[in-house]
Every structure is written in structure tokens, then in C-alpha cells.
Structure 1
Amino acid sequence: MTKTSILKSILSLSIIGIFFSACSTDQKQASDEKEEARLTDSAAQEEKKKTILFFGDSMTAGYGVDQSQAFPALVQDKIDSLGLNYKVINGGLSGETSASGLSRIDWFLEEQPDIFILELGGNDGLRGIQLDETKKNLQGIIDKIEEKYPDTRVILAGMQIPPNMGQEYTAEFQKMYPEIAEKNDLVLIPFLLEGVGGNAALNQPDGIHPTAEGHQLVAKNVWEFLGPVL
């Protein structure tokens, strides 16, 4: 083979290499652009979803169970199974009282919730806090929601407490939620832990917080009243 032939061969191979390299680059760029478009579309779809905010204490936070087993996550699973255009935000905080909830509500309202489920007051009752204070705090939270987002639907989750603080306090505590719901024309879940509270098989050893199985029943209790709103 002459020197000229060798040079021609090398030149041909170089051209072929450049061609395939360019094709590979174009394919990768097209693939990257397609993936970027898919992620952008997915983000846009997520942005369009309406928001359901669960705002509560350890019951909402899912104390003692995995986040995926807590009732807000189970409600999201139900929503997804029905193809509804809603996303759930879990705003639960263990140990939360109505007073501390009122102090942190502004930050959560930045989420612009379309539906707000208020689950607070249980820790107030267990601590024997004056019910006038609890009522004032819960009303303060509701007022802030309605002032900032008049179209947001508020659902109030009622709670009950054992008679440790005396029968009168316990009875007044139970009446507090229907009274607040009626005053503000809210959807009321009469007792969030219906069928769970007092059932040892559905509660953790502390006798207060539901097990994963208990959360499944709590999710059904919530859905009974949330479903029609959606």
C-alpha cells in the first residue's frame, strides 16, 4: 500500500469517526431534551394540583409509624387511586397544642391550601388547658385561613379525651368542636378516632396513638367527610 493510500484510509476513518461521534452527540442531546421536557411537564402537572393541608399534632404527624402509614398519606393513596387532582401536605407536629398551632399557622398558609383539615386540641385536653383558651386559639387559626384564603374549605376534626380531668371538663371538651363547626359553618368530623380510640388492638402501647392498622381506620373516618367535599 502506497503512502497516499494509507493517508486516504486514515482520512476516511477520521471522517467516519467524526460522523458517528456527531450522531451520538445529537442522539444524547435529543434524549436529554426529551427527559427535560418530561420533567418540566411533570412539574407543571404537579403545580396544577389542588392542595389539601392536614394541620395537626402527633395524630396527623403519624407518631410511631412510618410516614407512608399515617392517615394523611393513606388519604393521598385514595386520591391517587381515584385519579383526583389533589396533593396532600402533612403539617402535623407531635406535641402541638392549639396555641403553638396558632403561632406557626402563617408559615403553612404559604402553601395556599384549597382544603384545610384542622386537627388540634387533643393535647390541650390531656394537659387540662382552659377550654376558653383552646376555643380562642382554634378560632384564631380559622380566622387566619378565612382572612387570607376566603375560598379555602376548612374541615374540623373533632377529638375526645378520657375523663381524667373530670366529667364536666370532658363533656365540655367534646361539645367544643361541634360548637366551633356550627359557628363557622365548617364540615365536622365528629370524632377523628372513631372505632380506634380505646381499642387496644389498634393503638400503640401508650394507648393514645394509632398503630398502622389504626391509621387505616382513621383514614376511612376522614374520607367519609372529605370525599364529598372533593
Structure 2
Amino acid sequence: MRILIFGDSITEGFCDYEMGGWINMLKIYFWKKGAKFRVTNLGISGDNSEDILKRFESFQKAYNHKYQNKSIIIFSFGMNDSLLLKNGNNDINIDEFKKNIEKLIQISKDNSLISKIIFLTNTNIKR
């Protein structure tokens, strides 16, 4: 089973020089337990929900045949969407954010690539 994790710099493991981020810790955990999961980190610094949606659409078109019904998809993002710009607005407004998540869910439902989809957030911010 493959676990594909799409996200932002937190997903990527940016600035975690000791452990390499939470995904690397997940890989180590599975390895120690002898679990047969292949974990792929698809986090990119600076990505917001719009960027991840574009990448996921391309990814599923390219790899649908290869990983059919064999993948768990984890989406972990949100910090860059909530980034406050100089004009006082967020980089991605809440309605766009919601639509992007709904599109990710719909693509996932329509896709034979995925056996399970998980959304998570790992950063608490005040809104």
C-alpha cells in the first residue's frame, strides 16, 4: 500500500533539521513496526490549496493506472491559504479554500487511484 501525502512546507518538513518533518517520522514508525507502507512526501513549500489542487489533478491523470486502488491520499495544508497579505486579505479566501477542498474530494471519489482519503491539519492558528 502506498501513502501519498500532498501539502505545504510543513508537510515537506521544512526547517526540521533533526527529524526531517512529520512524514519522515511516519516512515520511521512504519519501518520499525515492519509495516508494508510506501510513504511518499509530496509537500512543496509555499503551496496553498489551489496549487495542491492543480498538482493533484495532474498527478492522478498521470498515475491512475499505476496505483489503482492501492493508495491512501493525505492532504495537509492551510497555512499558506490563511497567509495575511499587506492589503489585509488572505492569500486564498475561505470560499475558495472550501471549493478547492470540495474539488479534491470529488476528484478523489471519481478516481480509482485511491482507497482512502484523509484531510488533516497540523498547525493551530487563530482565525
Question: Could you tell me the TM-score, scaled by structure 1's length?
Answer: 0.45
Counterpart position of 2:96? 133
List aligned pairs for 1:1-230, cutoff 5 A.
Answer: 50-66=1-17, 69-109=20-60, 110=63, 112=67, 114-127=71-84, 128=90, 129-149=92-112, 151-158=114-121, 159-162=123-126, 170=127
SS of residue paired to 2:118: strand
CA distance in 2, matches of 1:85, 1:131: 38
Name stretches of at least 5 consecutive residues in structure 1 with no aligned partner: 1-49, 163-169, 171-230
Decide which structure has the larger Cα Rg and report it: 1
Report Cα offsets for 1:131-183 as digits up to 9, x if no partner: 01001001111211221127521111135323xxxxxxx1xxxxxxxxxxxxx
Q: Comparing both chains, which one has the higher relative contact order based on Cα–Cα distances under 8 Å and sequence gaps of 6 or more?
A: 2
Write the distance in 1 (CA, Å) between the matches of 2:113 and 2:20: 32
Identity of matched residues, %: 29
CA RMSD of aligned residues (A): 2.1
Residues of 2 paired with 1:142 and 1:75: CA distance? 24
Q: Structure 1: which amino acid aligns with 2:93?
A: Q
Distance in 2 (alpha carbons) for counterparts of 1:120 and 1:106: 16
Going from structure 1 to structure 2, the CA distance change for 1:160 and 1:122 (only over 3 Å counts) comes to same
Counterparts of 1:65 and 1:91 in 2: how far apart (Å)?
16
Residues 2-60 of structure 1: per-residue CA shift (max 9 Å, x gap): xxxxxxxxxxxxxxxxxxxxxxxxxxxxxxxxxxxxxxxxxxxxxxxx10011100000
Identify unmatched segments of 5+ residues in structure 2.
Answer: 85-89
TM-score (norm. length: structure 2): 0.79
Q: Across the two proteins, how many residue pairs are aligned to each other?
A: 114
